[in-house]
Structure formats: structure tokens, C-alpha cells
Amino acid sequence: MLSPHNFALPSDRQAALRPPRRTMKRLCLGALAGLAGALLSGASLAQSEDPATPWNWSDDTVFNAVNQVRAGKDLTPEQWPGGARVAVLLSFDVDNETVMGLRTGEVSIGPLSQGQYGHRVALPRIVKLVDDEAIPSTFFFPAWSLKIAPEQAALINASGDHEIAVHGWIHERNTSLDADTEARLLAQAMDTIEEISGRRPVGYRAPSWNHSPATLSIVREMGFLYESSLMHDDRPYELVQNGEPTDLVELPVDWILDDAPLMNPLGNRYMNPRDIMQVWIDEFDKAWEEGTLFLLTLHPHVSGHRSRIVALEGLIEHIKSKGDVWFATHEDAARYVRAQAGMD
């Protein structure tokens, strides 16, 4: 089976989008050097402890497992810009064809048609809504999603208000990759998105919201401003790796604040979009009471359908009626909390 990690462009576009070899070599070597201790530690633990009997693990094994990536200091500022009570971050994972058949290598025309709906119909509908409502938003792309339909970048960039960030190469399952391959794919994704969008991404969201033992070291090596894949908190916080602060901002996600698990009409968890809207409203109201952060993740190929976008429309109406809100891109929020916490 053809590996989706190695899908190629037509030859006339390969040269323009090929990541510089020096960039990839530097990244891979740096990431691997940083990972050596952790991976060797993991290998030795695997030899001395039976992974099938965690009830017999030593204290060191348990602490080493949970301390790989943890939440550090809370980065919630005393107040948000303009005296706002809560920050609202809308993010869109523009997966399209990458999750509708490409990432597994099991290509099927029906699912791919759903992926094309994402950039052909749904993304324009989503962008029109946030532009009409003057809401800066962040769009996370697997690089291949943007390569298939590069016009998406111009659509998002037209207002000058939004951010394009990186969400992997082909929505690969990064937790199943070796460190070298994971680093190579992220380097390719960064260079490709920069080439198409005109600006190098500063934010990272892992495919499937998970980290391999290598992911955080690779992300740090690449110099990202923020990460947005993990669920240690409802508030922005600093990531800690093996007990050491990383100087990297985490903007946390959560499955209840994601449309995909709850709007799959073929799944047994399907909910009416209007019911999901009420869940999101309740989440926002609590964030407003606490004076913290409300971060929602949507997928255009999911929420961009006519009967589902009503959930986002209703949520926006409620948020605006509440007032004292700062709408921001993930980049703007990360820069603000860093500055307020004295991290710059």
C-alpha cells in the first residue's frame, strides 16, 4: 500500500514546495539529540517493567510516565485586552480530504467527496460567518489539505484578521511514527504552509490531539509560539516537560468543545446541533464567570453544513449578548498571556 506520508505533488510543483534540506536535517538532528535521553529511559523501563501489569510498576515508572508532559503555571492574566472578562478563541481544523481517506492510505471516493465539500462549500460558509461577525479566528491545516486546494489560504487571508496554523502533514497518526519521520513531516508541513499562505505558522496542533514521546521536543526545536492539543486545564498554561518549564504556551482543547465527536451522523454519539449549541453556551457561561478562556474547535467539513452551522451562529449570538468578551486568534492570545506573565 502506498504510504500517505510520501504522497507526491506533480513534478512541476515539487521544487517550489520542497522543504530545504538543511532545514530538515537541522530539525531532525536537533530533535533526535534532545530525545535521546527520554527514549533511552523509556526503553530501559520497558525492559524492567511489564507494560501489561501497571499495578506492579515502580514509583519511578509511574512518575516518569505522567511527567513526560504536564501543566505548569496558569497563564490566565488579571484581565484580558480592553478590560474584557473572558477570551474567546474560535479554531477550525481544516482537515478535508486528509481525514476522509488519505491519512490511512485506504482511498475511497465517497469519503473523499465529503472532504472536497469541506473546502468547496463549508469553508467559504464558515469564513463568511466569522468575517460578517468580525471575529478573528485560527485555521489549523494539515499541509496536504492546503496543497489540494491552495485557494483556501487567500480566502482566509482576505480579511487580514485570521491566522493559519499547522496541523500536521497529512493528518498522520504522529503517535505511531518514529521521531525522525515525525520531525521530517512537521518540517515539510511548515515549509509548505508558509509557501502557500505567505507566512510561517507560529502555532501547532497535533493530528488527533495526541503527542508521541517525541512531539514536544520536536515542537520546541522548531520554535513554535504555542501548542494547542492537550487537555490539562481549561485555562492557558505553560507546558512542563520532565519536570522542567518549557517556555511554551498551551491553549488547551477538550472533546466536549469539538464538533466532530458529537456531530457524526453515522456514529452512536450523534447529537442534534441545537443541543450541542447549548452545551457550548453552558461552557462559555462558566468561562465568563471564571474570567478565563473559552476555546472551541470546529471542522468546516462537519460544522459547515447548513443544518449544523446554526449551532455556531447561535453560540456567537449568545456570546455577543453577554458582552465583556475579547475575540482573538490563538497567536494573539498566546502573545498576550506571555507578555502578561513576563515570559518575553
Residue 103: its pLDDT value, please? Answer: 86
What percent of the chain shows pLDDT beyond 90? 81
Asked if residues 38 and 242 have their Cβ atoms less than 8 Å apart, the reply is yes
Q: Where are the alpha helices (DSSP H) in the chain?
A: 11-17, 21-48, 59-66, 109-117, 123-132, 143-148, 151-157, 179-197, 215-221, 273-290, 300-303, 309-322, 330-340
Backbone φ and ψ of 144, nearest 5°: -65, -30
pLDDT at residue number 23: 47
- Where do the structural domains in the chain lie, given as residue ranges? 14-340
Name 181's Cβ contacts closer than 8 Å, sequence gap at least 6: 5
Strand 226-227 versus strand 244-250 pairing type: parallel
Tell me which CATH code domain 14-340 carries.
3.20.20.370
- The Cα–Cα gap between 227 and 311 comes to 26
pLDDT at 140 over 90: yes
Q: In this predicted structure, what is the pLDDT of residue 40?
A: 38
Count CB atoms within 10 A of the CB of residue 271.
Answer: 17
**How much is the average pLDDT of 173-178?**
95
Instruction: Indicate if the pLDDT at residue 268 is higher than 90.
Output: no
Maximum distance among all alpha carbons in the chain? 59
Mean pLDDT of all residues in 285-310: 97
User: Tens digit of pLDDT for each residue in 238-253?
Assistant: 999 999 999 999 999 9
The DSSP annotation for 80-103 comes to BGGGBSEEEEEEEE--GGGTTTTT
Q: Would you state the torsion angle of the CA atoms of residues 308, 311, 314, 319, taken in this order, to the nearest 10 degrees?
A: -140
Instruction: Render pLDDT for 26-58 as a digit per residue (tens, 0 to 9).
Output: 554 444 444 444 443 444 444 578 989 999 999
**Burial of 223 by CB count in 10 Å (0-12 exposed, 13-18 middle, 19+ buried)?**
exposed
- For the cut 60, the answer to whether the pLDDT of residue 271 exceeds it is yes
Q: What are phi and psi of 33, to 5 degrees?
A: -65, -45
